[in-house]
Amino acid sequence: MIVSHLHEDHFDEVAMEHVPKHMPIICQPGDEAEIRGAGFTEVSPLTDIAIWEGLTLARREGSHGLGPVLEEMGSVMGFSLEAADEPSIYWAGDTVLYPPVADVIRATSPDILITHSCGALWNGDLIVMNAEETIAVCEIAASSLVIATHMEALDHATIGREDLRRAAEARGIPASRLLIPADGEVLVLTRSATH
C-alpha cells in the first residue's frame, strides 16, 4: 500500500483499523512514525527509488497548493510505477500543476498519468488541480492517457466530472485521452491499450 500523505481522505481511521497490520506500506519520509504508531509493522519511507517484487517506485514531488496554504496542507508526494510488460504510471496525487510536476511528465513520458482534478480550495487557495490545470497536463503529456480522479468526493471541490469533461472538450481533449471514471468504476489498462 502506498500512503502519499496522512490527510484523512488518504489514510483514515477506517483504513488504520481494517488494513492488515503486516501489509507493506510505503510512505513519504516523516510519516513513518505515525503509521507505525497505528500498529503497522512494515513501513518504509520512499526517499527516491525502491524496487519491490519487480515493481519500481520513484518518489515524485508534489505541492498541495502554493504559498501560505502549504503550512496547513503539509508535504505530499506523488510517485511513478514501472514494471515489465506493464504501462508506466505517474500518479501526481494531491498537487497543483507546478514546474516539478510538468518536469516529471516531460522527463518520463508516462503511459498513464493520474491526477486529482476536483479543483479543491482551502481558504480560497487551490490545493489540487482544477479543470484548467488538468487540461494543461493533457497538453503537456500529449502521448499519455490521463485519468482524472478525486472527483466529487470533497465538500471543498469546485468542479465536477461534467464540468471537467465540458472544459476538456472545449479545448479539443477527447474522452479517449482524458478518462474521468465514475465512483466505483474499474479501469483495466494494459500497455497496448495506452498506445
At 69-113, the pLDDT tens digits run 988 898 999 999 999 999 999 999 999 999 999 999 999 999 999
With cell 526517499, the residue in question is 47
In whole angstroms, give the CA distance from residue 129 to residue 65. Answer: 9
At 31-60, the pLDDT tens digits run 999 999 999 999 999 999 999 899 999 999
pLDDT value at residue 194: 58
Whether the Cβ atoms of residue 33 and residue 27 lie closer than 8 Å to each other? no
- For 162, the 3-state DSSP assignment is helix
Percent of the chain with pLDDT over 70: 98
pLDDT value at residue 70: 87
Is residue 185 predicted with pLDDT exceeding 80?
yes
Whether the Cβ atoms of residue 136 and residue 148 lie closer than 8 Å to each other? no
pLDDT value at residue 171: 96
What Cα–Cα distance (Å) separates residue 44 from each residue in 19, 24, 79, 182? 16, 8, 14, 32
